[in-house]
Structure 1
Amino acid sequence: MFLFFLLFILILHTSSTTSSTIILQGNNTLQSPNNTFQLGFFNFFPGPGPPKFYLAIRRTSLPNPNTIWVANRLKPSPSQTGSSLQLTRTGQLLLTHFNTTIWTATTNSTTTNLSLKLLESGNLVLLTPNGVVSWQSFDSPSDTWLPGMNLTRFNSLTSWRTETDPSPGPYSLRLKPPFYGEFELVFNDTVSYWSTGNWTNGIFLNVPEMTVPYLYAFHFAAPFSPDATFGFSERASETGLHLPTMFRVEPFGQVRQYTWNSQTGSWNNFWFKPDSVCQVRGLCGRFGVCTGEISKSCECLSGFEPLDGHGWGSGDYSRGCHRGDAGCDGDDEFEDLGAVSFGFGNVSLVKGKSRSFCERECLGDCGCVGLSFDKQSGLCKNFYGSLLDFQNLTSDGESGVLYVRVPRGGSKGNGFDRKVLSGVVIGSVAVLGLVVVTLLVMVKRRGGRKGLEEEDGFVPVLNLRVFSYKQLQLATRGFSEKIGHGGFGTVFQGELSDASIVAVKRLERPGGGEKEFRAEVSTIGNIQHVNLVRLRGFCSENSHRLLVYEYMQNGALSVYLRKEGPSLSWDVRFRVAVGTAKGIAYLHEECRCCIIHCDIKPENILLDGDFTAKVSDFGLAKLIGRDFSRVLATMRGTWGYVAPEWISGVAITTKADVYSYGMTLLELIGGRRNVEAPPSAGGVGESGGETGGKWFFPPWAAQRIIEGNVDEVIDKRLGNVYNIEEARRVALVAVWCIQDDEGIRPTMGMVVKMLEGWVEVSVPPPPKLLQALVTGDSFHGVKADSGTGVSTGGSLSDGNLEVSTADSESYTGHVFSPLDVNVNVSVR
Structure 2
Amino acid sequence: MSLSLFFLLILIFSSSTSSSTTIILQGNTTLKSPNNTFQLGLFSFSFSFYLAIRHTSLPFPNTTWVANRLHPSPTQTGSILHLTQTGSLILTHSNTTLWSTAPTFNTSSNLSLKLLDSGNLILSAPNGLVLWQSFDSPTDTWLPGMNLTRFNSLTSWRTQTDPTPGLYSLRLKPPFFGEFELVFNDTVSYWSTGNWTDGKFLNIPEMSIPYLYSFHFLSPFSPAAEFGFSERASETGTQPPTMFRVEPFGQIRQYTWNNQAGSWKMFWSMPEPVCQVRGLCGRFGVCIGETSKLCECVSGFEPLDGDGWGSGDYSKGCYRGDAGSDGSDGFRDLGDVRFGFGNVSLIKGKSRSFCEGECLRDCGCVGLSFDEGSGVCRNFYGLLSDFQNLTGGGESGGFYVRVPKGGSGGRKKVFDRKVLSGVVIGVVVVLGVVVMALLVMVKKKRGGGRKGLEEEEEDGFVPVLNLKVFSYKELQLATRGFSEKVGHGGFGTVFQGELSDASVVAVKRLERPGGGEKEFRAEVSTIGNIQHVNLVRLRGFCSENSHRLLVYEYMQNGALNVYLRKEGPCLSWDVRFRVAVGTAKGIAYLHEECRCCIIHCDIKPENILLDGDFTAKVSDFGLAKLIGRDFSRVLVTMRGTWGYVAPEWISGVAITTKADVYSYGMTLLELIGGRRNVEAPLSAGGGGGGGESGDEMGGKWFFPPWAAQRIIEGNVSDVMDKRLGNAYNIEEARRVALVAVWCIQDDEAMRPTMGMVVKMLEGLVEVSVPPPPKLLQALVTGDSFHGVKADSGNGASSTGGSLSDGDLEVSTADSESYTGNVFSPLDVNVNVSVR
> Normalization by structure 2: what TM-score?
0.46
Larger Rg: 1
> Normalization by structure 1: what TM-score?
0.46
